[in-house]
């Protein structure tokens, strides 16, 4: 069974590795669509911290990941699912219900997010760290 999932995976953190490992455990192969810098900008209104090149490089280095590709548009999910012959689409439950219309193409599974961590939160925390006085 081939599993496919999508995400930005910017400022890679433990929530990312958790969902990728759990997605991989649902099948025999994991394909990951990493959203392009352009798509990320249109989705989140800011450029990612890490470039698409570096985000792909990081995801590709994980032992739970078999293949990585660039996700150029959210609307192309059905095309990617068919192009890569995916059997299961995994998304975090922040997307609960939003991809149910693709269930004629493959199984859809929403996995619970890891609590208390996100890229946006990490960026906010780092932004507000005051330099220590000497
Ligand atoms: N994810 C997760 N647990 C978290 C954070 C993310 O399971 N704590 C999952 C998301 O549900 C998604 C994948 O990781 O399936 C990639 O999410 P992404 O949007 O790249 O990460 P976030 O940390 O949610 O980024 P942001 O804060 O910018 O939205």
Tell how far the Cα of 42 is from the centroid of ligand 1, in angstroms.
17
Determine, yes or no, domain membership for 133: no
Q: What pLDDT, on the 0 to 100 scale, is given for residue 25?
A: 98
Tell how far the Cα of 133 is from the centroid of ligand 1, in angstroms.
34
CATH number of domain containing 97: 3.40.50.620
24 close to 3: Cβ distance less than 8 angstroms: yes
Determine, yes or no, domain membership for 90: yes
Atom 12 (ligand 1) nearest CA: 92
Tell how far the Cα of 9 is from the centroid of ligand 1, in angstroms.
7
Determine, yes or no, domain membership for 132: no
List beta partners, residue 89.
4, 108
The CB-side HSE value for 126 (13 A sphere, CA atoms) comes to 8
Of the candidates 27, 39, 19, 18, the one whose C-alpha atom is nearest the C-alpha of residue 91 is 19
Instruction: Find the residues whose C-beta lies inside 6 A of ligand 1.
Output: 7-9, 15-16, 18-19, 44, 91-92, 94, 113-114, 117-120
For the chain of 134 residues, list the mean pLDDT of each consecutive stretch of 10.
97 98 98 97 92 98 98 96 98 94 97 95 91 74
Atom 25 (ligand 1) nearest CA: 119
pTM recorded for the entire structure: 0.95
Q: What pLDDT, on the 0 to 100 scale, is given for residue 130?
A: 85
Q: What pLDDT, on the 0 to 100 scale, is given for residue 134?
A: 66
Report how many domains make up the chain: 1
Tell how far the Cα of 114 is from the centroid of ligand 1, in angstroms.
9
Domain with 80, as residue range(s), is: 2-127
Determine, yes or no, domain membership for 15: yes
Q: Which two tokens stand for residue 23?
A: 């997605």
């Amino acid at each position: 069974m081939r599993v496919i999932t999508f995400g930005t995976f910017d400022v890679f953190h433990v929530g990312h590795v958790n969902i990728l490992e759990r997605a991989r455990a649902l099948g025999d192969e994991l394909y990951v669509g990493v959203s392009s810098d352009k798509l990320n900008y249109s989705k989140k209104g800011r450029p990612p911290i890490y470039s698409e090149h570096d985000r792909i490089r990081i995801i590709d280095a994980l032992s739970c990941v078999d293949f990585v590709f660039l996700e150029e548009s959210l609307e192309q999910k059905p095309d990617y699912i068919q192009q890569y012959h995916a059997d299961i689409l995994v998304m975090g439950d922040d997307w609960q219900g939003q991809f149910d219309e693709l269930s004629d193409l493959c199984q859809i599974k929403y996995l619970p997010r890891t609590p208390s961590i996100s890229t946006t939160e990490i960026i906010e925390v780092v932004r507000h760290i005051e330099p220590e006085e000497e």
